[in-house]
Every structure is written in structure tokens, then in C-alpha cells.
Amino acid sequence: MHILVTGGAGYIGSHTVIELLESGHEVEIVDNLVNGEQETISQVKEISGMDIPFHEIDARNTEELIELVSKSSFDAVIHFAGLKAIGESVSDPLRYYSNNVGSTLSVLKAMQFAGIPRLIFSSSATVYGSPVELPVKETAPVGSNLTNPYGRTKFMSEEIITDLTALDSNFEASILRYFNPVGRHPSGLIGGRLLRKPDNLAPFIAGVAAEKYPYVEVFGNDYDTLDGTGVRDYIHVSDLARGHLAALENSRPGLHTYNLGTGKGTSVLELINIFGDVTGKVIPYKIANRRQGDVAESFADVTKARNELHWIAKKSVADACEDEWRWQSRRRS
């Protein structure tokens, strides 16, 4: 199949492009390089041994997208393009609504214009807000108790896709709700842009191990969990990339929503200790107050993805830490 990947130079997008190419699909990338890097595309070419057409386009630019899709016959679009830092979304909500919701509208307009029948959308478990039942199923309520604009942009985009799919019986959309992506490509070559202090826990722990930061700040140790720290479902980015391939190869008209996670939770302290075991380093940390909006536990029910997509996560949290450290170490050299 001929696939257009928006945000294909970014963290999850670039790993997915590799999976697509290795499975025999033809891929073209659209990215404005806000979160992606030109170097990443070169590294994807090096890993795959294949050439990848790259178009430096902001996915919100509907006219340029229409021009692109009018020149080629695409079978599907995988839409990653968007901003993803929760804290930044709180401090600059308009930028997030403009980018994340605006790019989804633009991509759908271009698809509708060119008659592209299939969409795979990069969503997030943040749409569940504060889950009331664990593990979290796809049937859990979404859109209520959302604590940040990032989560609301994903929820709004899902609603737009839902409405469009209801309108066109021939249109197929798969919404993939990620839990907590971690790790990098095993080659150590690609892993996304890291030009500032990371917002996510695993790369920050790696930064502490690399002595870029003095310690890990653990937000709360009084939760009702095994060790008092928050528990999350950490999924290796390569497993996540395979989930997109599985959704692409499971063609059925209509709207389909899947959780992509491991189905197991790992606490903050457990992640710190695993990273210490992998690197052979002591990872210093300090306990801080809970953050507003954080929940004690969140992990996925992945039964639907296993049964319908025949997909399961294969890599462990330790694998993710090893790959994270390999990538960090290459960046230091």
C-alpha cells in the first residue's frame, strides 16, 4: 500500500515508518520539523535501506496537502502530526488547539478531496481522564474530567473523526489510544528530538543517568499503590509502531478504537530501579508533592487489540530502558 504519514519525522512516526517499509509498504512523509528532524529521515533511510519521499509541509496547510495528495494515489493516511507536551499545552492552549485540532481537520479535508479511504489516528489514553475502573477498556467514558488541553485536543479530534466516519459508510478510521510510549529504536540511531528538558519520565531518568540533571523528581509517594508512587502502562515505541501496522492490515469499513499498551503497570520507583539495573548507575531522586490532575494508576485493557488486530506488546520495560540508554549514549558521544 501507498501510505502518507504526517509527522513521520517525529518520535513515534519515524519508528512506524520503519515498520511500514520493512513490511513492504510505500511511504511518503509530511512534517513541518517542529518536533521532528531532517536527520531522523536520513537515519530511517539508513536503517531501512530505502528512499522515502519527504515533504516539508505543515499539516494545517490544507492547500498544500491537497496539492500533494492530488499528485499521488494514496491508500491510507497515518496521522501523527501534532504537539504532545502536556505541561506546555496548559501554558499555551491556543497553540495546541490550533496545531492538533487544526491539523486533523486539514488532513481529513485533503483525504476527502482525494478520496483516500483509510485513516489511522494517533490518539492518547489521556482522553479517558481519570479512569474509574482498571484496566481501562475502550468502552470507558472519554472526554470528561480531562485535566489538560492536550487531552482535549485528542478528544476533539476523535469526535471529528467519529462524525466523518458516520457520514461515509465507505470510510475507515482506526483510533489508537496510546498509553505511555518509552524506548528508542534498537539501533540507537533514531529516537526523536531531545533539545530541551524532557517532559516524559523515561527520557528524564536517562538524562539523570547521563548526569544532565541532578535527580528525578517523583511527584507523590502517598498514592494507594504498592510503593506509593504513580503507576503507568509503559509500552516500547517499537511495539507501538507495530500496532499501527496491525491496524493498517486489518481493513474494515467503519470506526474502530484500540488501546495500545502492555496491560501491566509499572510504578515510578520501579522504573527508576529498572533503569538503574540496566545502566549500572544509581539514579538519585527526590520526593515532591503530587501534581494536580495525576491519578494513582492507569493501565490498559488490550484484549480488543489482541483479538481483532492479533497484536500484543512483545518488549519489556527493561528492553525500553536499554534502548533508551543506548540512544542517549550515542547522543553524548
Q: Which residues are catalytic?
A: 150
Dist. CA 165–CA 162, nearest whole Å: 5
233 Cα distance to chain centroid? 13
CA-to-CA dists, residue 65 to 83, 147, 182, angstroms: 19, 32, 30
Dist. CA 280–CA 267, nearest whole Å: 19
The sheet with strand 118-124 has its strands ordered as: 54-55, 26-30, 2-6, 76-79, 118-124, 172-178, 254-260
Dist. CA 194–CA 210, nearest whole Å: 14
| Secondary structure class of 70 (helix, strand, coil) | helix
Place of cell 491510507: 76
Dist. CA 326–CA 323, nearest whole Å: 5
**265 burial via Cβ count (<10 Å: 0-12, 13-18, 19+):** buried
Place of cell 489538560: 148
